[in-house]
Each structure stands twice: as C-alpha cells, then as structure tokens.
C-alpha cells in the first residue's frame, strides 16, 4: 500500500529534528507530528471517516491544526480548510457545497455551526489553539499505529476554495500528485534544505501558507516558526534565528515601515519570497536598498499551485514573476482567438503541468470552460512573457477596461497614480459610460493630510498617460474594499460606481 503524498513526507522527515516551533515555545519534532497525525487519523477512522470523505476545518492557526492536515492526507480524507473569517451564512454555503463528513471547528464556534452541520449531514468536533478540544481528546485515546490509506497521485488530497476576489469562491480539487510535484519543485528551485528555518506568519487555510510554506518545509525536513499572525516586530526579532520568510506584499510594505529593518536585522536570512498579489516594483527596490536582499517574487493560484518564480541564482527582476517552474508550461494567448502570442505581447496566461488541479468541485461546466482543447488551464490573468523569458502579470482579465475600443490595463494607470505625492494607493476600474462603453475611473486613497484634489491628479496624469488611458473621474475613498485575503475587490467598486456616468 502506498500513499503518494504522505510517503514522500514520511521519507523526508528527520525523526527527532524540530518541525514546528510554536509561538508558546513548544517544539514539535517530526516524530511528534507523525505520532499525533497517526492518532488523529485513527480518531477520524473511529468516527467513520473513510477515504474520499471531506473533512472541513475552520480553526485558528496552531501546530495541531497543521498536523490535522497531515492526518487527513494519511487517512485518505479530503482536507478542506476554511477561512477563519467566514460567517455562518458563508459557512452554510461551503458546507452545503462540499458536504463534509466531519467539520472541525474551535470550541466557541461549536454551537453556532451545529445547525449547519446537521442540515448537511456532518458531525462536529473541536480543536483549539491551547491543545484541547474534542477531536484531540479522541486522538489521545488512540495508539500511534495508524496504517496509512492507499492513495495514488490522481486521488484528491484537498479541496481548497479560491479567495473569492472576483466573485463566489470555487472549490479547487487538488490531487496528491498536484501537491507533491509542486512542493518538490519549489523545494529544489528555492534550495530549501534541512538547515532552513521558515518564518510562517501566513494563514493556513490558503494555498500560500498551507501548501507552499508547509509542504516545502516538510519535504526539505526543515523547520518553521509558526506564528498566529503577522506582526512586523515579532518577525523582525525572529529573523536573527531564521533563514526564510514567505509573505504577501503587505508583509514587506509593513516591514519597510519599521526603522528596525536594516542589513544587520536580516544578517541570518537567506531568502525572502513574495506572492499571492502583485509586489510593487517600488517595494522590491526599497527592500533591496535597506537590506541588500532582492525579494524573490513568484506567481500561483489556488487552482494551479505555483506556476512561475524568479530565479534563485539569476537576476530577480522587480515587477516580474520570473520563469515557468520546471515541468510547468506557461503560454500567452490572444483571448479572442486562442492563438499563441509572440514575446512581449499581452494576452491570457495559460498553464499546463502536474501542478494544475483536477477541476472545480461539482462544477463540470465551469471546469470544461476553463480548459483549452489541448489541456491548458485558462488562468484568467493577463500578462506577457518578455524576450528573456520572464513572465509579467498585467492584471485579471475581468479587470481589463475597454474604453472607446481601446484596452486599458489598470495596473499601468495605478502605477502612475501611486507615484504622485500624497497618494497612498489606488484602484482603477471601468464602469459603464454612454459614449465610451466603459469609462476609466480611479478610486484613490490619499495619505493622511495630503491636500490632493481631482484636478491636480488629472493634470499630473496628462503628461504621463495617453489620453484614452486617463481616468474620466477620480474618486477619493478612505480605503479600498478587500476580501479576507487582503485582495482588492474591484467587483465591489464596479458595483458601487456603476451609475457614475449614467
């Protein structure tokens, strides 16, 4: 019997070496994690969970929660992590859609979810950050001798819901083969080894913190500092003992705000990685100036794991997401005809490789619509591949603005606005316009006390952008709407300003 993903994790596990350094000080060795995952797998078996059953998990970040993921892989169950910010109404959708057999929540949430679980036929158990909870109680009574379920590369390991930036979250079905191939590739590409110590400050319900951070650590036999959340001061203090940080762009923006960030603070660090959203070239440059480190930006999505990465040894170019990973094919096509475009031309990014998911859970039509006839996944992201082979992301196709027959890429306009004195951030959208089809519209957040008005911004942009790209209106806002992953929700803005030019 073999278990495709877990066999590899087990083979890489260096016994008594540390795996997780929890924030309370407890160190979990690899053996500790193997033992608890075995007990948890047995407990789930006793509860009647069988291979292929979904196990939904909405708990706060802890070592035990990560080990529950391992237990699911071992038992053949399909791990289904849920964002801890989801409300009961949202949970009702996810539980109804995924029909998990078991729903693991934190104790205070138990009462609230009981009704939802019951309606959809799931049993509820608890797991808390202090190491208590009904599921852990059950696990304690089990022996650590679980026989791993047989799973092949093509069997499901997890269903991960997308971030819901462009609409309702979709369940991406990820196989053992998807996860193992991508994590192995990333480990080698980023040269992660047993001596590495990762600062893990990302959520563990999203592909970044769960699969990239955790699986890469496991397959390298490395260790991680598991933090409940990102706190710049705490991260800066840990850097003296760590070698690796994986973050979203806001981590880096916030680290740069600290006067403590300098070359000495990062003297022990080997690599800084960024992804999940675009890293501004400005952030990359400032970080390099302050620390001497070029942040390595990579690009991925829930459906595909990671697709591209800047090189470890070669130039890490700001504003690009680097090269297609080994074994992954990335191409750019004309969205209208599907024809493959030459270098430097912008179009739809399409991906093929062992990293690409099996399809959307219970959405066969949507799955079929998002794959080409020759098996490429249509990412929904627009970009180009330059002459040196670096991939550039321009933005999502849903966010492209078409005004007067011209294509306008919001990122280009936002880049110009963000450079103006007094601008904190901006979002450029297209909203219905009687003459132009869509009118380019900028939502701008000013820096505190900035005396910047609409006229001043429009005037400044006149010299910087072709006329058709210039916003018709500038609207000031206190902040931009973001989803629970911190991504700007342009669909919310488009709705809000739909009648602006009516």
By CB under 6 A, name the binding residues for ligand ATP: 162-167, 169, 275-278, 297, 299-302, 321, 379, 381, 393, 396, 485, 487
- Residue pair 139/146 in contact (Cβ under 8 Å)? The answer is no
For the CB of residue 500, give the shortest distance to ligand ATP in the complex, in Å: 23
Tokens standing for residue 185? 């590739």
- The least distance separating Mg ion from the CB of residue 96, rounded to whole angstroms, comes to 21
Residue nearer to Mg ion on the CB measure, 146 or 409: 409
CA distance 175 to 4: 10
Structure tokens at 127: 């797991």
- Contacts of residue 115, Cβ cutoff 8 Å, sequence gap at least 6: none
Instruction: Pick between residue 290 and residue 396 the one whose CB is nearest to ligand ATP.
Output: 396
Contact 261, 288 (CB under 8 A): no
SS3 state at 269? coil
Q: Cα–Cα distance between 135 and 70 in angstroms, integer?
A: 14
CB nearer ligand ATP, residue 22 or residue 306: 306
Number of H helices, E strands in the chain: 16, 25
Instruction: Give the residue ranges of DSSP H helices in 221-337.
Output: 232-238, 249-256, 281-291
Min CB(351)–Mg ion separation in Å: 12
Give 3-state DSSP helix, strand, coil % of the chain, rounded to 5: 30, 25, 40
Q: Which partner in ligand ATP, Mg ion, none is near 198 (CB below 5 to 8 A by kind)?
A: none
Site string for Mg ion, 31-70 (x = CB under 5 A): ----------------------------------------
Q: Are strands 401-403 and 406-408 parallel, antiparallel or unpaired?
A: antiparallel
Q: Which is nearer to Mg ion, 168 or 263 (CB)?
A: 168
Q: Out of ligand ATP, Mg ion, none, which partner does residue 308 contact, by CB within 5 to 8 A per kind?
A: none
- The nearer residue to Mg ion, 280 or 349, going by C-beta atoms, is 349
Q: Closest approach of Cβ 310 to ligand ATP, in Å?
A: 10
Residue 410 contact, options Mg ion, ligand ATP, none, Cβ 5-8 Å cut-off depending on partner type = none
Nearest approach, Cβ of residue 429 and ligand ATP (Å): 15
* Span interacting with Mg ion, options 11-19, 162-170, 460-468, 471-479, rule CB under 5 A: 162-170
Q: Which is nearer to ligand ATP, 247 or 300 (CB)?
A: 300
Nearer to ligand ATP, 50 or 168 (CB): 168
Distance CA 225, CA 201 (A): 8
Q: Which residues pair with 246 in a beta bridge?
A: 273
Q: Tell me how far, at minimum, the Cβ of 491 lies from ligand ATP, in Å.
A: 9
3-state secondary structure of 140: helix
Angle at alpha carbon of residue 234, lines to 228 and 239, rounded to 5°? 110
Smallest distance from the beta carbon of 301 to Mg ion, in angstroms? 5
List the single partner that 76 binds among Mg ion, ligand ATP, none, CB under 5 to 8 Å by kind: none
Applying CB under 5 A, what is the total number of residues that bind Mg ion?
A: 1
Which residue ranges make up the site for Mg ion (CB under 5 A)?
162
């Amino acid at each position: 019997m073999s278990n495709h993903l877990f066999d590899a994790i087990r083979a890489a596990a260096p016994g008594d070496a540390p795996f997780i350094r929890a924030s309370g000080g407890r160190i979990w060795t690899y053996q500790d994690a193997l033992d608890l995952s075995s007990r948890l797998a047995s407990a789930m078996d006793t509860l009647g969970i069988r291979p292929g059953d979904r196990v939904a998990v909405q708990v706060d970040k802890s070592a035990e929660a990560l080990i529950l993921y391992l237990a699911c892989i071992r038992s053949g169950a399909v791990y289904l992590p849920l964002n801890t910010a989801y409300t009961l109404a949202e949970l009702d959708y996810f539980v109804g859609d995924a029909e998990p057999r078991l729903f693991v929540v934190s104790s205070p949430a138990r009462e609230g979810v009981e009704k939802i679980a019951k309606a959809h036929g799931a049993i509820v158990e608890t797991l808390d950050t202090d190491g208590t909870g009904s599921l852990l109680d059950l696990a304690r009574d089990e022996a650590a001798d679980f026989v791993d379920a047989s799973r092949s590369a093509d069997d499901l390991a997890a269903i991960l819901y997308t971030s819901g930036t462009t609409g309702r979250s979709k369940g991406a079905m990820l196989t053992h083969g998807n996860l193992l191939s991508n994590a192995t590739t990333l480990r080698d590409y980023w040269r992660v080894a047993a001596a590495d110590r990762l600062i893990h400050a990302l959520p563990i319900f999203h592909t970044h913190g769960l699969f990239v951070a955790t699986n890469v650590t496991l397959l390298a036999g490395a260790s991680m500092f598991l933090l409940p959340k990102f706190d710049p001061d705490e991260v800066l203090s840990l850097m003296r003992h760590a070698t690796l940080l994986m973050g979203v762009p806001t981590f880096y923006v916030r680290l740069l705000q600290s006067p403590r960030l300098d070359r000495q603070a990062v003297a022990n660090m080997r690599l800084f990685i960024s992804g999940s959203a675009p890293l501004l070239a400005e952030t990359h440059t400032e970080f390099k100036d302050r620390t001497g480190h070029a942040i390595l930006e990579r690009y991925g999505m829930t459906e595909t794991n990671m697709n591209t990465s800047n090189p470890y040894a070669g130039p890490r170019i700001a504003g690009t997401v680097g090269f297609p990973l080994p074994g992954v094919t990335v191409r750019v096509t004309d969205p209208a005809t599907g024809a493959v475009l030459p270098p430097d031309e912008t179009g739809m990014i399409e991906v093929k490789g062992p990293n690409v998911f099996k399809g959307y859970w219970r959405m066969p039509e949507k799955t079929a619509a998002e794959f080409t006839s020759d098996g490429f996944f249509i990412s929904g992201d627009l970009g180009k591949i330059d002459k040196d082979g670096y991939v550039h992301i321009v933005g999502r196709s849903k966010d492209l603005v078409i005004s007067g027959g011209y294509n306008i890429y919001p990122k280009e306009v936002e880049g110009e606005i963000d450079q103006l004195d007094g601008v904190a951030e901006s979002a450029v959208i297209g909203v219905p316009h009687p003459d132009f089809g869509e009118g380019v519209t900028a939502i701008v957040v000013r820096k505190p006390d900035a005396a910047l008005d609409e006229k001043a911004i429009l005037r400044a942009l006149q010299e910087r952008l072709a006329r058709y790209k210039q916003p018709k209106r500038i609207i000031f806002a206190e902040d931009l709407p973001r989803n629970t992953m911190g991504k700007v929700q342009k669909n919310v803005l488009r709705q809000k300003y739909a009648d602006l030019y009516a």
